[in-house]
Amino acid sequence: MKKLLTLLLLSHSLFLSTGCGIQRRMLYYPGQFHFKDIKQAATNNGMALWTQDSPYYFGIMATRKQFSYKGTIIVFHGNAGPAIFRGYYISALKKLGYRVILAEYPGYGGKPGKMTEKKLMAEARRTVELAVKEFGEPVYIWGESMGCGIVAGIISEETINIKGVVLLTPWDNLTNVARRDVPAVSISAGLIVKDKYDNVKNISKYKGPVAVIMAEKDEIIPNDLTINLYNSIKSRKKMFIFNNSGHNDWPNGPEQLWWLDIMTFLESK
CA-to-CA dists, residue 32 to 29, 49, 110, 211, 268, angstroms: 9, 18, 8, 33, 41
pLDDT for residue 8: 38
- SS3 letters across 219-239: CCCCHHHHHHHHHHCCCCEEE
According to DSSP, the residues that pair with 213 across neighbouring strands are 168, 240
pTM for this predicted structure: 0.89
Instruction: Tell me how many degrees the CA angle 159-161-164 measures, rounded to the nearest 5.
Output: 135
pLDDT for residue 182: 54
pLDDT for residue 267: 95
Residue 82: CB partners within 8 Å, gap ≥ 6?
30, 31, 33, 38, 104, 108, 109, 110
* CATH superfamily of the 43-173+197-267 domain: Alpha/Beta hydrolase fold, catalytic domain (3.40.50.1820)
Rounded distance between C-alpha atoms, residue 120 and residue 175, angstroms:
18
Taking the mean position of all CA atoms in its chain, how far away is CA 93?
16
Residue 79: CB partners within 8 Å, gap ≥ 6?
1, 2, 27, 28, 29, 145, 146
pLDDT in tens, the chain (269 residues): 544 444 333 333 333 334 455 455 568 899 889 999 999 999 999 999 999 999 999 999 999 888 899 999 999 999 999 999 999 999 999 999 999 999 999 999 999 999 999 999 999 999 999 999 999 999 999 999 999 999 999 999 878 899 999 999 999 998 888 776 555 444 444 544 577 899 999 999 999 999 999 999 999 999 999 999 999 999 999 999 999 999 999 999 999 999 999 999 999 97
Question: Is 172 within 8 Å of 225 (Cβ atoms)?
Answer: yes
Question: Is 126 within 8 Å of 150 (Cβ atoms)?
Answer: no
Instruction: List the domain boundaries for the chain.
Output: 43-173+197-267
Rounded distance between C-alpha atoms, residue 119 and residue 228, angstroms:
26
Beta-sheet strand order (sheet of 71-76): 47-50, 59-62, 98-103, 71-76, 139-144, 164-168, 210-215, 237-242
